[in-house]
Each structure stands twice: as structure tokens, then as C-alpha cells.
Amino acid sequence: MGKVASAHCNPKVKSYLEHNDRTHSNSDTITKEYSYKNEYSCSAKETKEKINELYKKAQKDFYNYCEKKNGLAKSGKPKGLQNFTKKEKSYTEFIYEINENTTMEQCQELSNKIAELTGFTPLQICIHRDEVHRDKKGEEKTHYHAHAVFFTLDKDGLQLARREASLNKTNLSKIQTLASECLKMERGERRYEQGLKQKNYTSHYRDYKRLKEKENELFQELEKKIATYDEIISRGDESLKNQNENLKFLVEEATNIDLLEWDLLAMNHPKEKAKPYIESLIRTIKDRLEGVFTRPLKETIEKLTKTINNQETRINELETALNQEKAKSNENHQENEKNALKREIERLKGENDILKKANNAFREVFESKIGNWQREVKKIFNLNMLLPDERENAIKKAIIADENLEKLSSGGVLEYDSSKTESKLKDLGITKNQGLSL
């Protein structure tokens, strides 16, 4: 039997949205060079905005529910308001075990089926294909899986995830069948229906819990992001700033008065303000980087790469010459010429390191920008996952992203086919001009 489909949920384990979309993730199982294979229905930021919107509505619904059911207390407020679910417990996630060829559409179909069965509201799906480990034989194995996040409060603002009607054993068994059907994979053994003991369930749960606890520890170390931010700025002052005027603009903008005010807040209230301070720094530097690189950077990257290769060739030639001079031990060869070669080698190595850092910075931002555009385009195919008032904006952003990707494709930067987007717009009865004017 090959890998079986499954969909597991534990409402007591917190969902980390930033891990799901890789905004913040330091897990040692992640192989970053494979992260481009991941897929995201929406970002952590967008998911949090949906949660805030749904949570505010649920608060009003719960207020009305308590007023109708319990009446008013002496304070004039409905009785029982203190029992309203905290925001961090108003959403949960399923882990889908998938295979290498599972698509986003299959995962979305499974989420919709689970929503129909439980009453949950689908929020986010993230497919991970970059988590690699070694088995007992030392061979690399990729853990293909997806995180599916759901809002779990009902129309009265009551919690569904801990109620027998939603995640009882019968429904959990049905969900495994749905996972098999939607993901086109084998189903596991029907232990519950056959009255058999759940094999190794406790062991698997504990492994999962340990993993989540480890992730929690990593997220609590966000204070270290301050040092990372300072290093980026320092690197920009010393080298990157001299390589590109756009990066010079980045350094100047990233050190503005708003961040200086954050510095004061963080120093005065380190415990209360540390986390938002760090997140603000990271968010600001990322936004500045993405904002600077608004034109294709292929030519810049190629020039830097070519320069790096030429520098490395020159370094190798000089090192060969130096070694030859050492071997000859020619008495007539002046010592200062040897030292000059050494200094030239060190100088070129230093310049090469600077160019490599600049090249890596260009690539990171360039690939991030392309990834954002690709996710915007994908949303047009998943409008049913969005709230009604979000769809027009999603269509407009998808058209703009599609045009940007098409320009990069025509310039030879990447391969991209815009015909699927045009076909989808045709199905929706919308032209690109109409979509841009929404």
C-alpha cells in the first residue's frame, strides 16, 4: 500500500499562519531551495484580516444570542458574555496528507466538503513541498502535506470545534473518506467503523504536539529578528548601498522617524512592545525591498553574475601565479611583487563577496515579487474561497499581476502562459479593461 490520504485536526493545537505561508519559519525540516514549489491560497496577512472580520461579526451575533437566551444582568449587558471564545481559539487547522501531484483545487474541494460537514468556514490552504527529512537508511524523504485553516464559530458566535456535532468520531471517519475521494488517494483502514483500536494514535499525536511545541519556541525567539534587521541595514551601508541607487533609497527610507519612535517604545516597554516592534521592522524592510524593485531585474542579476564569474576567474589566475612564484623561489623576484599579488587577491575576494551579497539580495526580492504576482493570479481561479466584497479587488489585482508576468515572459525572464487567465476572465464575462475599472 502506498501513502494513504488523511485529514487530521486537533483544536487544542494552535495554528501558525506565518509558518503556513513561510512569512516566518525557522523549522530545521524546511529546505528553502524547494520552497518555490509551495502553493498558498492566500497569505497570513490576508487570513488574519478575514479572521478579524468574521470575529467582529461573531461578537455581535454572540451578544444577540446571550441577550435573547439569558436576558440582561444588573450591568445592563447580556449574561454569559464572558464565555465568548477568544480570538486565538476561533480558528483551527487540518493537516492533509497528500502526494507529490496533489493540486490546490483538490485541497480546496476537500476543505469545502469538510465545511459542509462541520459548519466551519474555510480560510486558507497552504501546500508544503519543501519539508525534507532523512529516513533510517539516510535517504531524503519529502513530507508532502497541506495546512487548511478554518474559522470555527457558528452563526450565533458559538464554538463548533469542541462540540460533538462537528468533530465526533463518525464525522472524523467521514472526513477520511472525503480526503481519499478528493485527493484521489487510498483510504486508510476503517478502524472506527470496524470497532478496532486506533493504532499508534497517541504516539502520532504526541509527535505532532512536540513538533508544534518546537515551532512555538521558534516563534517566541522573534526578538532575534532585530539583529537580523540591523545586519541588513549595516550591509546596505557598507556595500549594497554602493552597488545600486535603489538600495541606497531603501536604507534611507527604512531608517525613518516612524522606526525611531518604535525604538523608543521598545526600550520603554520591552515586554509589551517587543513583538510588534520586531514585526514592524521586518514588515517595513520587506515592503521597502519589494517597493524598490518594480522593473524586471534579469539584466542586473546577469551583469552581477557575470562580474562575479570574471572576478573568480581573475582570483584563480592570480592565485596560480602566486603559487608558481612560490615554487620557483626565484631570488631575483622582488618580495613586494608577491605582496602586491596577495593584496590584489584579497581586494578582489572582498569585492566578489560584496557582489555576491548584492546578487543574492536582488534574487531574493525578485523571486518574492514574482511569487506574489503568481499568488494574485491564482486567486481568480478560487473566487469561491473569498468573501463577496473581496472578489472585485482580487480580479483587479489578478489582471495587473497577469500583465506583469506576461511582460517578464516576453523579456525571457520566466515562462508564463496568460491564456488560462484570459479564459477564466471570459468565463466570468469580464474583459481586462472592465476588470481594471472595478
Helix (H, G, I), strand (E, B) or coil at 89: helix
Residue 58's pLDDT band (cuts 50, 70, 90): very high
pLDDT at 224 over 50: yes
Q: Which of 219, 239, 268 is the last residue of a domain?
A: 219
Does 180 lie in the same domain as 52? yes
Q: Which of 292, 311, 335 is the last residue of a domain?
A: 292
> Are 150 and 120 in contact, with CB atoms under 8 Å apart?
yes
pLDDT, one tens digit per residue, over 149-196 is 999 999 988 888 766 667 888 888 899 999 999 999 998 877 655 565
Does 124 lie in the same domain as 8? yes
Residue 257's pLDDT band (cuts 50, 70, 90): very low
Grid coordinates belonging to 432: 481586462
Does 54 lie in the same domain as 138? yes
Q: Which of 219, 237, 266 is the last residue of a domain?
A: 219
Does 388 lie in the same domain as 326? yes
Residue 226's pLDDT band (cuts 50, 70, 90): very low
pLDDT confidence of residue 428: 84
Does 276 lie in the same domain as 176? no
Ordered strands of the 121-128 beta sheet: 39-40, 121-128, 145-151, 91-97, 4-9, 186-187
CATH number at residue 28: 3.30.930
pLDDT at 252 over 50: no
pLDDT at 391 over 70: yes
C-alpha count within 13 angstroms, C-beta hemisphere, residue 395:
23
Domain extent, residue 200, equals 4-219
Does 269 lie in the same domain as 185? no
Helices (H), 293-387: 298-328, 335-379
Does 309 lie in the same domain as 262? no
Rounded to 5 degrees, what are φ and ψ at 189?
Answer: -65, 140
Does 251 lie in the same domain as 360? no
pLDDT, one tens digit per residue, over 107-161 is 999 999 999 999 999 999 999 999 988 776 778 889 999 999 999 999 988 888 7
Does 213 lie in the same domain as 71? yes
pLDDT at 246 over 50: no
- What is the rounded CA–CA span in Å between residue 173 and residue 179? 10
- Range of lowest pLDDT (163-172, 259-268, 362-371, 397-406): 259-268
pLDDT at 218 over 70: no
Does 227 lie in the same domain as 117? no
Does 72 lie in the same domain as 185? yes
Specify the amino acid at residue 371: G
Does 226 lie in the same domain as 211? no
Pick from 13, 15, 5, 10: nearest CA to 175: 5
Most confident of 26-35, 214-223, 256-265: 26-35
- Range of lowest pLDDT (121-125, 222-226, 330-334): 222-226
- Number of domain units in the chain: 3
416-425 long-range contacts, Cβ below 8 Å, gap at least 24? 421/377, 421/380, 424/380, 424/381, 425/380, 425/395, 425/399
